[in-house]
Amino acid sequence: DGGITQSPKYLFRKEGQNVTLSCEQNLNHDAMYWYRQDPGQGLRLIYYSQIVNDFQKGDIAEGYSVSREKKESFPLTVTSAQKNPTAFYLCASSKGQGMTEAFFGQGTRLTVV
Amino acid sequence: GQQLNQSPQSMFIQEGEDVSMNCTSSSIFNTWLWYKQDPGEGPVLLIALYKAGELTSNGRLTAQFGITRKDSFLNISASIPSDVGIYFCAGILTGGGNKLTFGTGTQLKVEL
């Protein structure tokens, strides 16, 4: 089945450690996005990529890094510089140019302990 | 970053009632999307709108792309318990590089 997969579903991290969240899609989509969601709030854009080997900062990129070496994959690293990393992280993808409907993965809940 | 104003923030309605929510922006959007999110899950796309004035239905859901291109509306008719969740609007700015901006969400609760 075609879709977008995030892993793991739940992740625990000690303070000061970097952690990488996985996002894979087999929809042949050009564009991929990472959002952060805090309790009772909307989605805020961290990074997005419109094409392989290219990405742009979103509204809250500080403390995060991404790579886009393959069309199917857009991993997000939450670094130790992120002051408040506990949140629900959502990855999405869309065809990019023209068709712009974005489809989401199931999310990763990151908790810093 | 760009913000979308979504209202109401929450709604508590009786089963069978109709529901309306809206989203407004100070900027012009060329696409409006409506999503529903269940707790602990990713948002699921409900309706996509691409032209000003467009009215689109998906079952009991109807959404409209405002004529000014700065707002959108979602209506749910004859609500049922499984309509419970958070509804988000999302827009793509003209010239915004396909970057989606989300509203703050409307939490819907349905009373039996």
Least reliable range by pLDDT among A34-43, B16-25, B34-43: A34-43
Whole-number average pLDDT of chain A: 92
Residue of A nearest to B38 (CA): A106
Whether pLDDT at A98 is above 60? no
**Cβ distance of A107 and B40 shorter than 8 Å:** yes
Whether pLDDT at B97 is above 70? no
CB A44 within 8 A of CB A34: no
Whole-number average pLDDT of chain B: 91
Choose among B24, B28, B17: nearest CA to B83: B17
Furthest-apart CA atoms within chain A: distance in Å = 42
**pLDDT tens digit string along B42-93?**
999 999 999 999 999 999 999 999 999 999 999 999 999 999 999 999 998 7
Q: Which residues of A touch B48 (CB under 8 A)?
A: 100-101
**pLDDT value at position A99?**
55
**pLDDT value at position B101?**
87
In chain B, DSSP assigns E strands to 5-7, 10-14, 19-24, 29-37, 44-49, 55-58, 61-65, 71-76, 85-93, 100-102, 106-111
Structure tokens at A64: 């995060």
Q: Which residues of A touch B35 (CB under 8 A)?
A: 104
For the segment A13-27, the average pLDDT, to the nearest whole number, is 94
